[in-house]
């Protein structure tokens, strides 16, 4: 699957911003940050615009900034310990669209 990753969410991920694997960045805007990324929730079909930025300084790891990301977290009811999956939608006409699905343990809530 092209441009995919999964992540076990931390407290920082659900309260501030989502740290993204550096390899994922090459699939967006030619490897540059500062790009709005369209994310579609695979369950509800709702679309979110998330801003992908590259941190300044020595560790230039990309992150989804808080504005759109925290709305997504709230809408989905995500918590630390949940797992989120991202993958590029390769269907014709969906170029540049990424899909996401969040999985969490209903029994622990």
Single pTM value for the model: 0.76
**How do the pLDDT tens digits run along the chain, 109 residues long?**
456 788 899 999 999 999 888 877 776 655 555 577 778 787 788 888 888 887 777 777 888 888 889 999 998 889 999 998 888 776 655 555 667 777 665 445 5
pLDDT (0 to 100) of residue 65: 82
CATH placement of domain 5-108: 2.40.330.10
Q: Which residues on neighbouring strands pair with residue 21, listed in sequence order?
A: none
pLDDT (0 to 100) of residue 15: 95
Domain spans, the chain? 5-108
pLDDT (0 to 100) of residue 42: 74
Interatomic CA distance for residues 27 and 12, integer angstroms: 24
- Long-range (24+ apart) CB contacts under 8 A made by 1-4 are 1/87, 1/88, 2/27, 2/87, 2/88, 2/90, 3/27, 3/28, 3/86, 3/87, 3/88, 3/98, 4/85, 4/86, 4/87, 4/88
pLDDT (0 to 100) of residue 21: 84
Interatomic CA distance for residues 10 and 6, integer angstroms: 13
């Amino acid at each position: 699957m092209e441009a995919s990753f999964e992540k076990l969410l931390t407290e920082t991920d659900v309260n501030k911003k989502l740290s993204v694997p550096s390899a994922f960045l090459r699939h967006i805007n030619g490897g540059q940050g500062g790009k709005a990324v369209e994310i579609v929730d695979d369950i509800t079909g709702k679309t979110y615009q998330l801003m992908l930025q590259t941190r300044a300084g020595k560790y230039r790891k990309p992150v989804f900034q808080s504005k759109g990301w925290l709305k997504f977290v709230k809408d989905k009811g995500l918590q630390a310990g949940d797992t989120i999956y991202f993958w590029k939608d390769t269907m014709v006409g969906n170029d540049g669209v990424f899909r996401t699905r969040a999985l969490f343990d209903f029994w622990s809530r």
